[in-house]
């Protein structure tokens, strides 16, 4: 087989050069020439590549296309299924990234063992392709975790052409590539992990998955900033993008969906790392709540929503007199710019200044909160710490605070309240629009529409 010709394309203007140069001769941009394979006009190099499974495109009316529900294949790990939207999809491509040692390979090895042990509706065949560890290392890990790895086929290989040939020959239901940054194609001269190699290898694996109906799970490395390494196109061509997160000092792991063509995004799965691998956490709200022996100032419980799952999280604030010309504003788990905005709203509409105070905010448990529904709880914890006045233990607070001092409704208010009532909370301060029409047993709900009105509750205690 003749080796494909490589060229270098500019990522800015698209110009092509036969050799790499530091500066593009066309647009004069620096370090924009990336290696790629030259396309031939006589034949498509992807046509008939996989045993004639490629089909010709047919023009059809969108209304004539049957919108059938995509069947899901459960993995046997309920938290993983939740994030995936119910399970794996035949022909779907999943990209999972995370810090080194976070537990990506452990989770996938456990998942494949669960899938291999399932016999209904039919046995499913799984192949684990390892480019980072030897077969002996993976076998030792499976033995250490107490897993029955007999149903799993293992391939220690980083050559893309050999991996594709193996998948074609054995036709598995599920294939794990660990990791995509270690795989290389002989058609390219660049090293494994380069932009060209990652783009080419992921494109061919995705094409094979679609044509043969194989579920492919790609493990991706992340940069020191936490983003997936490689070209951005890697996240565009796959169907699902998952991030594995966790505090190195904690045993808990969170897996989030940031893209899912077959389900909802922003779903959250919670695991605990143990000696026997990752264990599912059925009540994650308990992880993010501190258990104080007595009431403390600066602590407020709120309810966030990750996808369809409500989570109770404790927001802690420490407000202390500043001893420097510029007071400190520090957030852990929340956005720092939003804290500055909330402090300005607190001063303007509630008459509580903090310009001479150091303000520290922490979301207990290492969870990261991106939704504005925690605004009211953050302000409650700040005022509680500033006045040194504890809140009630069984009180929850949520709501978005606007620049005009209004308290705006949030999505899923009823679900949040029911979760709080289930965990024993008896009082709630929420936006007036989120007050349920029918009372919820066990919890008294107070609706507010202004920040001043909400803070009156603290003064009345």
Q: Is the pLDDT of residue 43 over 50?
A: no
- Residue 298 confidence (pLDDT): 93
pLDDT of residue 293: 67
On whether the 287-460 domain is CATH 3.90.1150.10, my answer is no
Helix, coil or strand: residue 200 = helix
Strands (E), 266-418: 268-274, 277-280, 299-306, 309-321, 329-332, 357-363, 395-397, 400-401, 407-408
Percentage of residues of the chain with pLDDT beyond 90: 51
pTM: 0.74
The C-alpha atoms of residue 128 and residue 124 are separated, in whole angstroms, by 13
**Closest by Cα among 306, 294, 315, 445 to 379:** 315
The answer as to CATH 3.40.50.1370 being correct for domain 73-282 is: no
pLDDT tens digits, one per residue of 448-461: 999 999 988 777 76
Instruction: For the chain, give the percent of residues with pLDDT over 70.
Output: 93
Instruction: Say what the pLDDT of residue 248 is.
Output: 65
Q: How many CB atoms lie within 10 A of CB 289?
A: 16
User: Which of 1-10, 14-23, 35-44, 111-120 is the least confident region?
Assistant: 35-44
Here the tokens at position 183 are 């795989």
For residues 257 and 307, is the Cβ–Cβ distance under 8 A?
A: yes
Position with higher pLDDT, 246 vs 197:
197
Average pLDDT over residues 155-173: 95
Q: Does residue 86 surpass a pLDDT of 70?
A: yes
SS3 content of the chain, % helix, strand, coil (to 5): 30, 25, 45
Average pLDDT over residues 244-254: 78
pLDDT of residue 53: 45
Q: Could you tell me the two tokens for 4?
A: 């494909």
Q: How confident is the model at residue 172 (pLDDT cuts 50, 70, 90)?
A: very high
Output the six-digit token pair for 310.
């409500």
Long-range residue pairs from 255-260, CB within 8 A, at least 24 positions apart, any chain: 255/79, 255/80, 255/83, 255/96, 255/107, 256/83, 256/306, 257/83, 257/84, 257/85, 257/307, 259/235, 260/84, 260/85
Q: What are the domain boundaries of the chain? A: 6-37, 73-282, 287-460
What pLDDT, on the 0 to 100 scale, is given for residue 209?
A: 95
- Of the candidates 112, 80, 146, 95, the residue with the CA atom closest to the CA atom of residue 280: 80
Distance CA 217, CA 240 (A): 9
Two structure tokens written together for 237: 């061509």
Among 164-178, 255-269, 410-424, name the most confident range.
164-178
């Amino acid at each position: 087989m003749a080796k494909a010709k490589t060229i270098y394309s500019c990522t800015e203007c698209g110009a092509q050069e036969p050799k790499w140069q530091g500066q593009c001769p066309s647009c004069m941009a620096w370090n924009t020439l990336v290696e790629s394979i030259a396309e031939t006009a006589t034949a498509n190099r992807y046509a008939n590549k996989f045993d004639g499974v490629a089909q010709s495109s047919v023009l059809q009316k969108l209304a004539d296309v049957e919108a059938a529900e995509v069947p899901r294949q459960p993995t046997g790990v309920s938290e993983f299924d939740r994030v995936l939207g119910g399970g794996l999809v035949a022909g779907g491509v999943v990209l999972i990234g995370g810090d080194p040692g976070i537990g990506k390979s452990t989770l996938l090895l456990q998942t494949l063992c669960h899938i291999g042990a399932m016999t209904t509706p039919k046995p499913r065949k799984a192949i684990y392709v390892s480019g980072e560890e030897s077969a002996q290392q993976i076998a030792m890990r499976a033995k250490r975790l107490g897993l029955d790895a007999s149903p799993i086929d293992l391939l220690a290989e980083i050559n893309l052409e050999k991996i594709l040939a193996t998948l074609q020959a054995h036709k598995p239901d599920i294939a794990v590539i660990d990791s995509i940054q270690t795989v290389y194609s002989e058609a390219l001269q660049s090293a494994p992990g380069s932009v060209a190699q990652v783009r080419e290898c992921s494109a061919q694996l995705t094409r094979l998955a679609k044509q043969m109906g194989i579920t492919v799970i790609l493990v991706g490395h992340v940069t020191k900033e936490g983003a997936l390494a490689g070209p951005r196109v890697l996240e565009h061509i796959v169907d699902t993008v998952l991030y594995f997160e966790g505090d190195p000092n904690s045993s808990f792991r969170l897996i989030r969906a940031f893209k899912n063509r077959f389900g909802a995004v922003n779903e959250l799965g919670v695991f605990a790392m143990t000696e026997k691998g990752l264990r599912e956490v059925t009540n994650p709200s308990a992880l993010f709540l501190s258990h104080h022996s007595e009431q403390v100032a600066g602590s407020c419980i709120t309810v966030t929503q990750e996808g369809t799952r409500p989570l109770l999280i404790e927001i802690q604030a420490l407000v202390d007199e500043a001893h420097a010309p510029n007071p400190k504003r520090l957030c852990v788990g929340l956005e720092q710019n939003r804290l500055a905005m909330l402090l300005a709203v607190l001063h303007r509409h509630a008459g509580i200044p903090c310009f001479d105070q150091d303000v520290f905010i922490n979301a207990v448990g290492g969870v990261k909160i991106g939704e504005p529904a925690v605004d009211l709880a953050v302000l409650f914890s700040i005022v509680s710490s500033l006045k040194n006045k504890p809140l009630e233990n069984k009180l929850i607070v949520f709501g978005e605070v606007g620049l005009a001092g209004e308290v705006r409704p949030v999505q899923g208010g009823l679900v949040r309240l029911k979760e709080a009532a289930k965990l024993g909370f008896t009082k709630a301060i929420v936006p007036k629009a989120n007050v349920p029409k029918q009372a919820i047993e066990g919890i008294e709900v107070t609706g507010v529409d202004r920040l001043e009105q909400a803070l009156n509750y603290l003064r009345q205690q």
